[in-house]
């Protein structure tokens, strides 16, 4: 017969209190579902719709790039004179490129190219793409805003180079737009150069007229002086008096020598000695009279007037650059800026002038 015996194990109370208790299992609550739904609706769905539209409905865009800079010919020589120096003061610089940068973004060039190429038709050529096209019946303001999206302009300040990227829905349209931008930009620069040269020439002609008037006034003053004082040239008269005085002094010295030689063998009462003394006295009196005439107080004022008039006349005749009046522009660039303010808003037609520039245009490429 088998006998079963059970053994009891006693667990200390301290070990029973230290035993870990398993936490309850985590459950997915409503806020978790809301966070997941928000992520799907706000991130995944827009991303998927955008990717689907870009790869499924959006039309391909092509862009044509060109880069050009403005360089002026500085061929003025010293023989060109004042006019040549004035017309070559303004060369291609940041001011020209700034004007051109604003002109490409302006409404004026948009209206001109729209009349030539029909930009509304070009930007609505992709009919199945309502997002990236201009839209029907677009106003000029909407066309300008869309133009600034499709035509990107960047400017290198140090090199003075403007980069233009024109986008369209066909390579031919992109090329046509970039070519039109290049053509009208060249016309603008040439028009501004022609305007600057015209302003410089006009101001130079005005200065020449003023200088001629000043010269005529100085000559009239000289004529009045000669008529009032009955003197052709006071400086010549003074030189003649000085020459006469020198001649009298030489003759006086010769007379003194002759009298000394005569006194060696003749008495004081000799007729020859008396005649020599009278001759010396006469020459001395004449010398004193001539010296007195040179220092007459009444002659100083006419001489000063003559000296001032002759100096003014000679300075007017020989001055290579007349005084610049307040209305004179510091540079022909001011005339160019005035023309630019008129050219950037309304359409214009211009005639190309002799302006040299280096232009680099990139071919069309698919975007």
Q: For residue 111, what pLDDT is reported?
A: 94
Structure tokens given for 212: 């001629």
Q: For residue 139, what pLDDT is reported?
A: 92
**E runs forming strands in 32-175:** 62-70, 151-156, 161-168
Q: For residue 85, what pLDDT is reported?
A: 44
Q: For residue 329, what pLDDT is reported?
A: 42
Tally DSSP H helices, then E strands, for the chain.
13, 4
Structure tokens given for 87: 């017309």
Structure tokens given for 362: 């990139």
Q: What is the CA radius of gyration of the chain?
A: 50
> Partners of 168 in the beta sheet?
62
Cα torsion 105, 109, 115, 120 to 10°: value is 0
Cα distances (Å, whole numbers) of residue 264 to 267, 269, 270, 279: 8, 13, 12, 18
- Give yes or no for a contact between 44 and 336, defined as CB atoms under 8 angstroms apart: no
User: What residues does each domain of the chain span?
Assistant: 59-207+327-366, 209-318
Q: For residue 7, what pLDDT is reported?
A: 47
Structure tokens given for 204: 């130079």
Backbone angles phi, psi at 290, to 5 degrees: -65, -40
Query: CB 191: neighbour CB atoms within 10 A?
Result: 22
Q: For residue 151, what pLDDT is reported?
A: 94
Rounded distance between C-alpha atoms, residue 203 and residue 329, angstroms: 9
Q: For residue 365, what pLDDT is reported?
A: 41
Structure tokens given for 288: 């004193």
Q: For residue 173, what pLDDT is reported?
A: 94
- Mean pLDDT of each 10-residue bin along the chain, 367 residues long: 46 52 68 87 89 84 88 48 45 68 92 93 86 88 94 84 92 94 91 89 92 85 74 66 83 87 82 86 86 60 59 56 43 43 36 36 41
Q: For residue 216, what pLDDT is reported?
A: 86
121: buried, middle or exposed (CB in 10 Å: 19+, 13-18, 0-12)? exposed
- Of 237, 122, 251, 246, the C-alpha closest to 175 is 122
Pair type for strands 151-156 and 357-366: unpaired
Collapsing DSSP to helix, strand or coil, 320 comes out as coil
Rounded distance between C-alpha atoms, residue 219 and residue 213, angstroms: 10
């Amino acid at each position: 017969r088998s006998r079963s015996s059970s053994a009891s194990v006693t667990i200390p109370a301290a070990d029973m209190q230290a035993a870990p208790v398993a936490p309850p299992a985590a459950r997915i609550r409503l806020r978790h579902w809301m966070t997941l739904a928000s992520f799907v609706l706000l991130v995944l769905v827009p991303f998927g719709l955008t990717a689907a539209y870009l790869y499924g409905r959006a039309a391909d865009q092509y862009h044509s790039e060109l880069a050009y800079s403005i360089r002026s010919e500085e061929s003025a020589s010293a023989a060109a004179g004042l006019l040549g120096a004035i017309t070559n003061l303004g060369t291609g610089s940041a001011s020209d490129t700034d004007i051109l940068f604003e002109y490409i973004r302006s409404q004026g060039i948009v209206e001109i190219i729209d009349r030539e190429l029909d930009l509304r038709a070009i930007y609505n050529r992709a009919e199945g793409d309502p997002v990236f096209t201009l839209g029907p019946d677009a106003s000029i303001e909407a066309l300008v805003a869309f133009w600034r999206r499709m035509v990107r302009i960047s400017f290198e300040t140090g090199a003075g180079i403007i980069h233009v990227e024109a986008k369209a829905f066909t390579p031919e349209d992109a090329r046509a737009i970039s070519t039109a931008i290049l053509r009208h930009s060249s016309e603008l620069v040439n028009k501004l150069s022609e305007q600057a040269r015209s302003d410089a020439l006009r101001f130079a002609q005005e200065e020449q007229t003023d200088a001629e008037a000043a010269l005529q006034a100085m000559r009239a003053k000289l004529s009045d002086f000669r008529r009032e004082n009955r003197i052709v040239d006071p400086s010549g008269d003074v030189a003649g008096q000085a020459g006469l005085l020198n001649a009298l002094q030489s003759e006086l010295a010769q007379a003194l020598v002759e009298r000394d030689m005569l006194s060696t063998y003749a008495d004081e009462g000799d007729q020859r000695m008396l005649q020599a003394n009278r001759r010396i006295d006469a020459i001395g009196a004449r010398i004193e009279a001539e010296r007195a005439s040179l220092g007459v107080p009444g002659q100083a004022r006419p001489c000063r007037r003559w000296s001032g008039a002759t100096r003014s006349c000679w300075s007017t005749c020989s001055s290579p650059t007349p005084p610049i009046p307040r209305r004179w522009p510091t540079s022909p660039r001011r005339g160019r800026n005035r023309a630019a303010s008129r050219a950037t808003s309304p359409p214009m037609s211009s005639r190309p002038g002799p302006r040299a520039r280096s232009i680099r245009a990139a071919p069309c490429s698919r975007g």
